[in-house]
Chain A
Amino acid sequence: MRTYVLRRVLQTIPLLFGISLITFLLLQLAPGDFLNQMAENPGISAETIEAMRLRFGLDQPWYIQYGIYLKNVILHFDFGESFARHQPVFEVLQDGFNNTLILAGAAAVITWGLAIPLGVLAAVRQHSWVDRTLSLVSFVWLSIPEILAALLLLMLAARTGWFPVGGMRSLDYDDLDALGQFLDILHHLALPALVVGLIPLASRMRQMRGSLLDVLRLDYVTTARAKGLSERVVITKHALRNALNPMITLFGYTLGALVSGSFIVEIIFSWPGLGRITLDAILQQDQYLVMGAVLMASLVLIIGNLIADLLLAVADPRISYD
Chain B
Amino acid sequence: MKRLLIIALAVATVATGGCRRRTTEAEAYKDAVPPPEEPMIRAVATPGRHGGRFVLGQTIGPKSFNGMMATETSSTDITNLLFTTLVAFDNASQKFGPELAKSWEVAPDGMTWTFHLRKGAKASDGHPITAEDVLFAFDVAQDPVLHPYVQDSLRVGDEKFKVSAPDPYTVVINTVKPNSALLDILCVGGLVIMPKHTLESAFKDGSFASAYNVGTPPDKLVTTGAWRLGQYTPGEKVVLTRNPYYYGFDAQKQRLPYLNELTFLLVPDQDAADLKFRSGELDGLDNVKPENYKWYEEHQRDGTFTLYDLGPANNAYFFWFNLNKVQSPLPGEKLPAGKKVGDTFTDPVKYAWFNDVRFRRAVSMAVDRDAMISSVFFGHAKKNFSLDTPGNTEWFFPDLPRYDYNPVEAKRLFASMGWKDSNGDGVLEDTHGNPITFTMKTNADNIIRVGMANFVKDDLAKVGIKVILTPIDFNTLITNLRSDLQYDSILLGLQNSVPPTPGNGQNVWRSSGESHEWFIKQHKPSTPEEARMDQLMNEILTTQDIAAQKKAYREMQTIVSEQAWMIWLPVLEIKLPVSNRFGNVQPSIMAHRLLWNIERLYVKPRES
Contacts and interface: CB of A to CB of B under 8 A. Distances in A.
Interface string B265-288: 111100010011011010000000
Contacts of A186: 9-10, 13
Given A85-B64, A172-B23, A51 B236 contact: no
A111 to B, nearest CB: 12
Contacts of B497: 42-43
A42 B478 contact: no
B475 interface: yes
Nearest to B16: A183
Nearest to A277: B235
Interface in A23-65: 30-33, 36-48, 51-52, 55
B281 A91 contact: no
A36 B479 contact: yes
B145 interface: yes
B458 to A, nearest CB: 27
Given A158-B279, A162-B14, A31 B3 contact: no
B475 A165 contact: no
Contact of A171 (B69, B210, B265): B265
B234 to A, nearest CB: 5
Interface stretch (A132-140, A268-276, A293-301): A268-276
A186 to B, nearest CB: 4
B482 interface: yes
B4 to A, nearest CB: 11
Interface stretch (A70-78, A174-182, A212-220, A233-241): A174-182
Contacts of B71: 38, 41, 44
A284 to B, nearest CB: 9
Interface string A79-98: 00110111100011001100
A51 B17 contact: no
B20 A176 contact: yes
Interface string A224-260: 0000000000000000000000000000000000000
Interface stretch (B88-96, B146-154, B401-409, B580-588): B146-154
A285 B479 CA distance: 15
A132 B508 CA distance: 69
A163 B507 contact: no
Given A95-B234, A174-B231, A272-B234, A87 B14 contact: no
B31 interface: no
B558 interface: no
Nearest to B505: A42
B144 to A, nearest CB: 8
Contacts, number: 184
B475 A172 contact: no
A165 B281 contact: yes
B233 interface: yes
Among B233, B473, B513, the most chain A Cβ lie within 10 Å of the Cβ of B233
Contacts of B275: 154, 158, 165-166
A144 B478 CA distance: 39
Contacts of B475: 30-33, 36-37, 285
Interface residues of B, number: 73
B332 to A, nearest CB: 11
B215 A171 contact: no
Name which of A44, A114, A117, A180 has the most chain B CB atoms within 10 A of its CB.
A44
A105 B346 CA distance: 57
B209 A55 contact: yes
B226 to A, nearest CB: 21
B143 to A, nearest CB: 10
B12 A183 contact: yes
A47 to B, nearest CB: 6
B63 A113 contact: no
Contacts of B30: none
A113 B2 contact: yes
Given A36-B478, A44-B71, A162 B234 contact: no
A104 interface: no
B373 interface: no
A165 B63 contact: no
B297 interface: no
Interface string B234-259: 11110000000000000000000000
A16 interface: no
Nearest to A45: B152
A320 interface: no
A291 interface: no
B66 A180 contact: no
A47 B152 contact: yes
Contacts of B21: 172, 175-176, 180
Nearest to B472: A31
B176 interface: no
B482 A167 contact: no
5 contacts: A40-B481, A48-B147, A86-B69, A183-B13, A270-B268
Name the 5 nearest CB pairs between A and B, nearest first. Answer: A272-B235, A32-B475, A51-B147, A86-B210, A42-B515
